[in-house]
Amino acid sequence: MPNENKPIAIVSTNILNGFAAQLIWSIQSESFNTDYDVVIYTAKAATEMGGAEFLYEKIARDKKAGAVIVIAYPISEKAVDGFYRAGITPVMIETTVKGVNSVRVDNFSGAREAGAYFAQKKKRKIGVIAGDVCLVASQKERLAGFKAGLGENGAKLDESAIYRIYQYNYQSGKDAFKYMLMNDVDAVFCAAGDYVAQGFLNEANKQGVSFPYTMSLIGFDDIEVSADLGLTTVKQPLRDMGREAFKMAVEAMKNTGVPVREKVFECKLIVRETA
């Protein structure tokens, strides 16, 4: 097959994000058991050239990869078509596109569990840190699931306490804490992930906030450092997700007739000191 010995490209927003870093580690460690190499591209490094869209065009134009794994980043139909025309199979992690292989968790049920937990704890004013729900399906699903978990247990989300972010980074978490503090929130679900939650937690600790007594915090991902920080979070099986994405990419490279698949993993709430 023409693509059988080509490397697999990985596109991520930022390798500093623990979620992306652990997925990349999982994918690369799996590749060492095969004859396939991986090439890593970060949208942050290509910001001045156009970010992820520039990388999609470059990978399709160069035709050096046999497959591309896109981690937690939106992709246009144009980019998908460009990959297929170039003979490159795309695989999505955390986002879904019709006609494209994908790996994700059941975001709705995981966030629903977080909402139910806060409701049962009788929290007074509950807020959410969320990414762009219009572009990122996981953020929309988590917000909907969290609201469902609250509603099913007699609580509700204060719409004024939804803090929207567009950069999934440490600084966004610090800024979110200041917003929640000003709005007198006593419980926060960070749908935007544990890396953002770390920034929130760091800023809260600087201000002398006591978890979970003054404020409670639940993240989403369970990246490696979250346990050490005592962060309550919704755990994604990141190692398994990376392995499955790599497997999909290899299968498609070996056999272009393999049907498109979607693999959905379960996730679960891990209760620690912050909630």
- In sequence order, the β-bridge partners of residue 164 are 130
- In sequence order, the β-bridge partners of residue 9 are 39, 68
DSSP one-letter code for 87: T
In a domain, 27, yes or no: yes
- pTM, entire model: 0.92
180 lies in the same domain as 195: yes
In a domain, 1, yes or no: no
pLDDT in tens, 217-263: 999 999 999 999 999 999 999 999 999 999 999 999 998 788 999 99
Q: What is the pLDDT of residue 80?
A: 95
122 lies in the same domain as 39: no
Domain of 126, CATH number, reads 3.40.50.2300
Q: Which helix (H) or strand (E) holds 236?
A: none
In a domain, 195, yes or no: yes
- Domain carrying residue 168: 107-235
193 lies in the same domain as 254: no
27 lies in the same domain as 120: no
Which stretches of the chain score pLDDT less than 50?
1
Q: What is the pLDDT of residue 166?
A: 87
Q: Give the dihedral of Cα atoms 17, 26, 228, 42; nearest 10 deg.
A: -10
226 lies in the same domain as 140: yes
In a domain, 275, yes or no: no
Token pair of 131 as six digits: 């990414």
31 lies in the same domain as 134: no
In a domain, 271, yes or no: no
Q: Is the peptide bond before 212 cis (omega within 30 degrees of 0)?
A: yes
In a domain, 137, yes or no: yes
Q: How far apart are CA 78 and CA 97, in angstroms?
A: 12
Q: At residue 120, what are phi and psi to the nearest 5 degrees?
A: -70, -25
Q: Are 165 and 172 in contact (CB under 8 A)?
A: yes
137 lies in the same domain as 196: yes
